[in-house]
Structure 1
């Protein structure tokens, strides 16, 4: 399903290569099984990206996806946060990538959505659709949050849900998101940093580690080789866990 490669590219960090890839991506979009209106909006998304200065496009991307966690592009973070379950789930996903012959850079975690889409693009239409359905609740959540911020990136999630033949109740998701407090304000970021610092100090005193707060993510990413289990995102337990996290 080549359209997943296009969406993966558009959801990844923007760079100058988009100019060279425009014609090929638009051709794939128009040959995809998406509704015509969705195809038009995806093409308009590309044109909007190309019509602006690259630095402005990159600044917008940073502000959306790298400032706060509510729009984070890491699947398991939306379900598990920083718990041990996230590491276990990532190892299992990484093994699936390797079984499919896909090797990834050590600089990126396996649950990064653009990478996950690249993987699904190699798995055939039926398997790709099933893979999207497993994460449809996260995609729906991201779509609702992007629409709340009037971001044109929301069309990427709309397209993925359409490809999945998703049955997520977006009305209910949007109602839940409407009451969320934004986590990208300076006040929210300061509060999140204070909480992380407190958690780090607690871990340091109990474990005796000497890592700095900024090093904790790298430590976790380097210690993922533990027994794993696959997370069924559509299970009742997973949906309840996701709902509980988003309601905070």
Structure 2
């Protein structure tokens, strides 16, 4: 069953919330999120039900600790999509500006406390901003998204199912996508190029941020 535009928007909204830091407001929304998921095609909704069930039966302190250990301390699972393409290089600054500009053109102003390429932010934009542009941003970073998905599954993370659901809203990967994933898995993100001048203002540069959240 092919998802409708409304179903994809619902899925992206639920996925966005589930990819955020687990807190009391999120747990309070679980019944509402579970109800929303019942309206989705099984390929998109079933993975989300798995994660929702895990959140419902796991203490909040344990969820929070697991989230931090997964996304704050492991670059392999970075929720920042441009990290996989540009690493912690100056070129990443320009990529971040592209995200910001896309949001502004849709009339959305992003909180400066969060980088614009966080998967939860991109999903929120796709759900409530511009679905076509949001889809394009996700597809452009499909290799990193897939590598994160595979790594989370290997780690046994409950958030792997959320990324499964995200990928189910996108077109199937082609041969070029699979080649990009294999190359990224073998080589990793690029390292800094010595002597390269910054392409973006310092506030959008990843240098000095340490491990991505």
Q: What runs of 5+ residues in structure 1 fail to find an aligned partner?
A: 182-198, 204-218, 225-248
The answer to whether the aligner puts 1:29 opposite 2:37 as a matched pair is yes
TM-score normalised to the size of structure 1? 0.66
Which structure 2 residues correspond to residues 103-122 of structure 1 after superposition, within 5 A?
Answer: 103-122=109-128
Deviations 1:131-166 (A, max 9, x none): 432222111110111111111211111111110023
Moved over 4 A (4+): 123-128, 168-177
Number of positions where the alignment pairs a residue of Structure 1 with one of Structure 2 = 188
In the TM superposition, residue 223 of structure 1 has moved relative to its aligned partner by: 6.4
For 1:3, which of 11, 26, 30 is the aligned residue? 11
Question: Would the alpha carbon gap of residues 66 and 180 (structure 1) be closer, same or farther in structure 2, given more than 3 Å must change?
Answer: farther
Contact kept in structure 2, 1:146 and 1:153, CA below 8 Å: yes
Question: Would the alpha carbon gap of residues 164 and 14 (structure 1) be closer, same or farther in structure 2, given more than 3 Å must change?
Answer: same
Match of 2:26 in 1: 18
Q: Distance in 2 between matches of 1:223 and 1:128?
A: 22
* Larger CA Rg, structure 1 vs 2: 1
In the TM superposition, residue 222 of structure 1 has moved relative to its aligned partner by: 5.4
Q: Distance in 2 between matches of 1:72 and 1:12?
A: 13
Deviations 1:39-97 (A, max 9, x none): 23311311211211111000000110000311111111111112121101111210111
In the TM superposition, residue 128 of structure 1 has moved relative to its aligned partner by: 4.2
What's the C-alpha RMSD, in Å, of the aligned pairs?
3.1
Q: What runs of 5+ residues in structure 2 fail to find an aligned partner?
A: 1-8, 196-200, 207-213
Match of 1:220 in 2: 202
Deviations 1:146-200 (A, max 9, x none): 11111121111111111002315698758985x899xxxxxxxxxxxxxxxxx9x
Secondary structure of the equivalent of 2:29? Answer: helix
In the TM superposition, residue 37 of structure 1 has moved relative to its aligned partner by: 5.2
Q: Distance in 1 between matches of 2:183 and 2:156?
A: 16
Match of 1:90 in 2: 96
Q: Distance in 1 between matches of 2:104 and 2:136?
A: 19
Match of 2:60 in 1: 54
Contact kept in structure 2, 1:137 and 1:168, CA below 8 Å: no
Contact kept in structure 1, 2:96 and 2:117, CA below 8 Å: yes
Question: Would the alpha carbon gap of residues 220 and 70 (structure 1) be closer, same or farther in structure 2, given more than 3 Å must change?
Answer: farther
